[in-house]
Structures are given as C-alpha cells and as structure tokens.
C-alpha cells in the first residue's frame, strides 16, 4: 500500500467531485450490467446509490431492509461487485465500505480518497492522479491505494 504524505498543501488545488447519483435508477443500472433485476439487488443498489459516501457491511446488515437477511445481503453484494457496479474501499477506521462506480468516479482504484477520522466521511478525489511508483527490479505493481486521512469541513467546524 502507498499512502500519500503532505497532501494538505495541495488540498486547495482541486475541486471536490460531487457525484450526481440521483440520476441513476437501481433497475436501470442492473439491466445495463446484465444482471437480473431481483428485489434484493434492487434494494441494495438503491441504498448504495443514495449513500454516495459509502456504506459498510454493518450499516447494511443492520438496516431495516436487510435485518435477518444477512446471507441474501452477502450474495447480493458479491453480485453487484462482480458486475462492476460497486467497489470496496476502506475508510479512515479501516472499515470496508461499498461505493457505487459512476461514470464520474470510474473505478475507485484510479484515484485517491479522503476519509474523515472523526465521522469516517469518504469522498473521491478524482482530480488527483495516483503517484507513479517505481519498484525494485523483479517486483510488479498490482494496486496503489491512496487514502488521505484528516478532518472534513463539518468536523472542522465543530471543533473550531
Ligand atoms: Zn468529518
Ligand atoms: Zn472514488
């Protein structure tokens, strides 16, 4: 894993990308991904669409819709992930969260993320390229994960 350092000084150079998820319907996305539209896939995808900053497995399993349906939830998550609709990321607390892949975010593996250490809010930093990493001879790169930890604007305002 590669972690970004000294990013605070470049923080003013980019605009935070706000995703317009309200334009997506779960049913459309399932169809486009060639997935059969089932009740649970639809419910799950709709929840992830309406949570642009990600949802953890416990957020989902404790929700009213999925209470008592853990296996169904687990399977639906795998289906959506395999179909390229959602992706797993880690927030500042190390918790795995599920985020929708949109035309703006593309793959979340292609850009860094910011996660607030107080509220775990996650945003995509799509304007920043991941650092190019030169590895020693004989090593191959598979993935670069760049997570910027800090405080979001709301948390900064509460401690000011
Ligand atoms: Zn925060
Ligand atoms: Zn992202």
Whether residue 138 lies inside any domain: the answer is: yes
Per-residue pLDDT at 132 exceeds 70: yes
Domain membership of residue 50 as a residue range: 8-159
Whether residue 145 lies inside any domain: the answer is: yes
Question: What is the per-residue pLDDT across 46-57, written as a single tens digit (0 to 9) for each?
Answer: 999 998 889 999
Whether residue 2 lies inside any domain: the answer is: no
H-run or E-run covering 34: none
Q: What is the CATH number of the domain that holds 89?
A: 1.10.10.10
Q: Residue 61's pLDDT is what? A: 93
Tokens 């709709």 sit at which residue? 46
The better pLDDT of the pair 19, 66 is held by 66
Residue 149 forms beta bridges with which residues?
115
Whether residue 3 lies inside any domain: the answer is: no
Q: Residue 23's pLDDT is what? A: 63
Among left, alpha and beta (phi > 0; psi -120 to 50; other), residue 139 is: beta
How far, in Å, is the centroid of ligand 1 from the Cα of 150? 8
Per-residue pLDDT at 18 exceeds 60: no
Confidence category of residue 31, pLDDT binned at 50, 70, 90: very high
Among left, alpha and beta (phi > 0; psi -120 to 50; other), residue 42 is: alpha
Whole-structure pTM value: 0.77
Instruction: Please report which ligand is nearest the Cα atom of 115.
Output: 1
Closest CA to 84 of 66, 103, 69, 70: 103
Question: What is the per-residue pLDDT across 71-130, written as a single tens digit (0 to 9) for each?
Answer: 999 999 999 999 999 999 999 899 999 999 987 778 898 899 999 999 989 999 999 988
Residue 148 forms beta bridges with which residues?
114
How far, in Å, is the centroid of ligand 2 from the Cα of 137? 30
Q: Residue 7's pLDDT is what? A: 39
Per-residue pLDDT at 22 exceeds 70: no
Closest CA to 124 of 109, 144, 143: 109
**Number of folded domains that form the chain:** 1
Percent of the residues in the chain that have a pLDDT greater than 90, as a whole number: 64
How far, in Å, is the centroid of ligand 1 from the Cα of 129? 23
How far, in Å, is the centroid of ligand 1 from the Cα of 79? 31
Which structure tokens are listed for 99?
A: 């985020």
- Sign of the torsion angle spanned by Cα atoms 74, 144, 140, 104: positive
Q: Residue 105's pLDDT is what? A: 75
Mean pLDDT, range 145-149, rounded to an integer:
91
Distances (CA, A) of 58 to 54, 55, 67, 154: 12, 8, 10, 24
Burial class (CB in 10 A: 0-12, 13-18, 19+), 13: exposed
């Amino acid at each position: 894993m590669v972690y970004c350092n000294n990013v605070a000084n470049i923080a003013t150079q980019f605009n935070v990308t706000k995703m317009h998820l309200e334009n997506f319907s779960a049913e459309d996305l399932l169809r486009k991904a060639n997935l059969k539209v089932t009740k649970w896939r639809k419910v799950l995808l709709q929840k992830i669409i309406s949570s642009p900053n990600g949802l953890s497995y416990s957020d989902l399993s404790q929700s009213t819709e999925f209470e008592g349906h853990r296996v169904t939830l687990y399977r639906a998550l795998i289906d959506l992930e395999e179909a390229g609709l959602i992706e797993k990321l880690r927030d500042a607390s190390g918790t795995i969260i599920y985020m929708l892949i949109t035309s703006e975010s593309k793959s979340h593996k292609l850009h860094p993320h910011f996660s607030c250490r107080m509220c775990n809010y996650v945003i995509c930093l799509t304007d920043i390229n991941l650092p190019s990493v030169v590895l020693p001879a004989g090593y191959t790169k598979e993935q670069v994960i760049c997570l910027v930890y800090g405080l979001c604007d709301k948390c900064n305002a509460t401690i000011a």
